[in-house]
Every structure is written in structure tokens, then in C-alpha cells.
Structure 1
Amino acid sequence: MDYSQAFAISAAGMTAERTRVEVAALNLANAHTVQMGEGTAFQPMRVASRSMAASQVAPEAFAHQVDSGLASLGQLELPQAVIEPSGVSPKQVYEPGNPFADGKGYVTYPGVDTATEMVSMMSALRSYEANVAAMNTTRTLALRALDIGGNA
């Protein structure tokens, strides 16, 4: 088995999860932003992981890949993290003393849900740790294979 494929899979997962953490941090940092410097409101973002191969591979092909020792894995695309607007509507808070309040005294804030962002961040951190553990396990297996091969 080519261990570089296993390292590439873990690295792709780590990259996607790092992107999720960065986007959640960006959303949390701008949760109370009224307007950006150029006068536009902040639009919360979300991360979507997409892989064309996941929708194109037949379910029976997975068993074939496992049976063949993941030999055909190099032909599959690794998941890519795509940052896109979340489409959440902004929330209005009654703050008549705020200089950004409209005529009725409401200030428009981005529709960032801090609890959801924190859960997303914690989930991404745990997934990142799982990818690191998988990479370390692969490294240990590769070193053991070298040890076995060197003693023969």
C-alpha cells in the first residue's frame, strides 16, 4: 500500500477542518458588527465540503476499493472545503441610542448564532484531532513495516 495516499487523505481532512475553524472564528468575531468599513453589512459564512467523486462512485465500488487495498484511491478526488455565504437573515435589535439605528430605533446585526458557531468550532477541532490521530497511526504502521522488512 502506498502510505502517501493515507497521508494525503488525512491532510485533506485537516485542511477542511482548519477552514471550518477559521470561518467559525470569523463569524464569531463579526457577530456584533453593524456594518463593514465600506458600508456593507457582514454576511455570515459557512463551509461546505464537496467531492465530485462521492456522488459519482457506486456503493458497490467502495467494497471493491477496500478489497483491492485502496489501489484505486489515487483516482478519486479528495474533499475540498468551499466557503460560501450562509444565507441567514440579519437580526434586528432595538437600540434607539445606537448611532447606526434606523428611524424606528432598530440596529441590524448579522444573523450569527454564537451557540451554533461554537458547536461547529468544537466539532471541527475534534475532527481535526481525529485526522491527526489517523496520520500518526499511518506513520506508526509505515515505521513498523520498515522494521519488519529490515529484520527479514
Structure 2
Amino acid sequence: MALYNVFDVAGSAMSAQSLRLNLTASNLANAETTASSPEEAYRARHPVFAAKLQQAQAGQAETSNGVEVGVRGVVETDAPVQALHQPNSPLADENGYVYRSNVNPVEEMVNMISASRSYQNSVEVMSTSRDLMLQTLRIGR
């Protein structure tokens, strides 16, 4: 039934924002981590989403809408990692440097707020749609 497509779209949006929130939390948890080489340093990760296209197939009455979670995968940012001179660190390389992740905590907090609000909006869409459907059923009584 076409009326229920709104639940599919909102549900897929909630799944997408949940993935985004999990990646942001992981980025924040690793913001201050260090490694012994730039290649081993943690790099911020972000999801890449793609909209599902309606695919009308012969004989198929309904199509799918929404967001494909992680279709393109998760990408790491290419921002450079920060080299810190800490010769007493057990992770220091031969030059006395350790390498901190490229996570920007301010950007990640903004990303977390945005994802949280998008998730809340999807919940509100589902709630409003449910209420409208119940009101429509009450009219038919």
C-alpha cells in the first residue's frame, strides 16, 4: 500500500542517521589517539549515502524509496594527521614523533547535532503520519 511508503522512507532515514551518529561517536572517541606512524594514525570516518531510485519493473505495482545506508561505504578523510614531538612516548618513531588522529572535535560535534536532529525529524514524520492515518480511520467510522 502506497500510504505506508512514508514509513519506509522515514525508517531508512533513521537507519542512515543512526549509522552517521555511530561513526561520529567513534571519531570523537578516537580524537586524541596517537600512533607511531602517519599510516597507523586514526582518520575520521564518514558515511556516504545514496538515494534509492525508484525502479519500476514490469508487473511491479510498488517501488522502493528511501536512503541506502552505506551504499558507497564509509570513507576516511584525507586531512593530514598531526605530528607531535614526544620523544619520551613509547609510540615515538626514530625522530621522536607521534602522530595524532585528524579528527576535528568541533566538526564532529556539529555533525552529531545535525545527525541527531535529522533522526528526530524522521521520528516526527513517522509519528505525524501515524496520527494522520488514525484520524483518517476515525472519519470512516
With the length of structure 2 as denominator, give the TM-score of the two structures: 0.81
Query: How far does residue 76 in structure 1 lie from its aligned partner after superposition?
Result: 4.5
C-alpha separation between the residues in 2 aligned to 1:139 and 1:129?
Answer: 15
How is 1:27-66 mapped onto 2 (pairs within 5 angstroms)? 27-35=27-35, 40-51=40-51, 53=53
1:95 maps to 86
Unaligned ranges ≥5, structure 1: 55-73
How is 1:101-140 mapped onto 2 (pairs within 5 angstroms)? 101-140=92-131
SS of the aligned residue for 1:75 comes to: coil
% of aligned pairs identical?
Answer: 30
SS of the aligned residue for 1:111 comes to: coil
Greater fraction of residues in strand = 2
2:67 maps to 79
C-alpha separation between the residues in 2 aligned to 1:88 and 1:3?
Answer: 44
C-alpha separation between the residues in 2 aligned to 1:6 and 1:78?
Answer: 9
With the length of structure 1 as denominator, give the TM-score of the two structures: 0.75
SS of the aligned residue for 2:53 comes to: helix
C-alpha separation between the residues in 1 aligned to 2:136 and 2:77?
Answer: 46
Greater fraction of residues in helix = 1
Is the 1:47–1:84 contact (alpha carbons within 8 Å) kept by the matching residues of 2?
yes
Cα deviations by residue, 1:43-91 (Å, 9 ceiling, x for unpaired): 321011112529xxxxxxxxxxxxxxxxxxx424421232222233211
- Superposed structure 1 runs of 4+ greater than 4 Å apart: none
Query: How far does residue 32 in structure 1 lie from its aligned partner after superposition?
Result: 2.0
1:4 maps to 4
Unaligned ranges ≥5, structure 2: 55-61
Cα 1:89–1:81 change in 2 (3 A) is farther
